Structure 1
Amino acid sequence: MTQHPTAEERRPANDGPKAAARNRAALVAAAREVYAEHGLDAPLSGIARRAGVGQGVLYRHFPDRAAVANAVLEENVREVEQAAAAATANLAGVLGVLTWHLTESAAFIGLLHADRTGGRPDGVHAHASALSDRVARSLRGHLTDGHRLGASDDLMLAVAMVSGAVTGPTRGERERRALAAWRLLGVEVGPVRPFGG
């Protein structure tokens, strides 16, 4: 005699908040990858597909394109801030984390080049200025007196210059170019890796 599963047995387990947190993390990771490959205008459907969720799940977490981009940018900035706040932090180490994000995320590069006059009306650039200021504060806190990047806006100008050099088809090529740009500026950079990596 063949036994058929009851409706209760067929229904997948509902992980509730755990699934929601997992889905959100997967969406942010997927968005970072998709943005690195296709820029901030990449289709949201591609992000959902890469995360392994339906588009409805994406919209449950992020109501629009700006919300997705802001979530990726917020995570990037938070990791730079965490690296800067670590007990053993120094400028070279924080720049290593920053450089990792530059090589991984086209969206992060866009943030650092954000038009501070408002540029795009989609909400991404409206948030970008505040995030860029947070990156600057994190880095500036580790500048020693007399550091070559200590004058006025020199620090973020150097970051923008390096981020402009971060091009290439592979992550390795982008990292090589970023490190060469830092070297040409005479700035020491620690290991290029994510915070805690």
Structure 2
Amino acid sequence: MVEHSEQQGRRPANDGPKAAARNRSALVAAAREVFAEHGLEAPLSAIARRARVGQGVLYRHFPDRAAAVAAVLEENVRQIEQAAEDGDATFAGVCGVLTWHLVDSAAFIGLLHAERVGSRSGTRAYALELSERVERALRRHLPTEHRLGAGDDLALSIAMVSAAVIGPTRAERELRALAAWRLLGVEVGSVRTFGG
């Protein structure tokens, strides 16, 4: 019996769970980019192309648009929570990570305006839960007696900054976000993804 090598047209071995995890990670990153560039109504096929996977792989991970948006939102919130849990975290540093996600993710801005989200299939409740997680992460490092510490002032400030994040380029959106924070009297650390 003759074995055929990969050079003779044989397909490489299936990596199974490793490939699935890699594909999912690539799809979330691609969805973040595509939604930021083209809005939440961008074709899902654009996400598959950007991630360099087939549409079947996309639909195995995200059966519909809502699932893709939810994955991006969850990743954004998870990174903000990780930044807040870091031993060296400061309010300014967590605000920097939040600002990176505001500037980089159209889906995330929609989350922070959860009252506008429709009520179908629990979407509004899910968006509110994620929004509250962001606020809790920031509040952990909000200095005592900070002017945004009263009532809903912090949540309102986050919504106000997110509403200011507009512009055709990432640089312009970042400048507007930082200006909005400055007008609210908030110092923001380095605008970066957590771990970046």
Deviates more, 1:141-150 or 1:82-91: 141-150
Aligned residues: 194
Q: Which residue of structure 2 aligns with residue 136 of structure 1?
A: 135
CA distance in 2, matches of 1:163, 1:157: 10
Is contact 1:149–1:155 with CA below 8 Å preserved after alignment? yes
Q: Is there any run of 5+ residues in structure 1 with no aligned partner, and where?
A: none
Q: Which residue of structure 2 aligns with residue 168 of structure 1?
A: 167
Q: Which residue of structure 1 aligns with residue 120 of structure 2?
A: 121
Offset of residue 170 of structure 1? 1.1
Offset of residue 126 of structure 1? 3.6
| Distance change in 2, residues 1:23/1:123 (3 Å) | farther
Among the aligned pairs, what percent are the same residue?
Answer: 73
CA distance in 1, matches of 2:127, 2:102: 15
CA distance in 1, matches of 2:5, 2:76: 46
The code of the aligned residue for 2:191 comes to V
Is contact 1:99–1:175 with CA below 8 Å preserved after alignment? yes
Report the 3-state secondary structure (helix = DSSP H, G, I; strand = E; otherwise coil) of the residue aligned with 1:193.
coil
The C-alpha deviation readout for 1:71-106, integer Å capped at 9, x for no partner, is 100000000000001001110000000000000001
CA distance in 1, matches of 2:48, 2:120: 24
Is contact 1:76–1:108 with CA below 8 Å preserved after alignment? yes
Deviates more, 1:139-148 or 1:85-94: 139-148
| Distance change in 2, residues 1:124/1:46 (3 Å) | farther
The C-alpha deviation readout for 1:124-177, integer Å capped at 9, x for no partner, is 434111100100111111112210100111001111111111111111111111
Q: Which residue of structure 2 aligns with residue 92 of structure 1?
A: 92
Indicate whether 1:30 and 2:30 are aligned: yes
Q: TM-score, normalised by structure 2?
A: 0.92
Is contact 1:80–1:138 with CA below 8 Å preserved after alignment? yes
CA distance in 1, matches of 2:38, 2:122: 19
CA distance in 1, matches of 2:5, 2:102: 51
Indicate whether 1:185 and 2:178 are aligned: no
CA distance in 2, matches of 1:91, 1:6: 56
Is contact 1:70–1:124 with CA below 8 Å preserved after alignment? no
CA distance in 2, matches of 1:119, 1:101: 22
The C-alpha deviation readout for 1:38-60, integer Å capped at 9, x for no partner, is 22221111111111111110111
| Distance change in 2, residues 1:13/1:59 (3 Å) | same
CA RMSD of aligned residues (A): 2.0
Offset of residue 13 of structure 1? 2.2
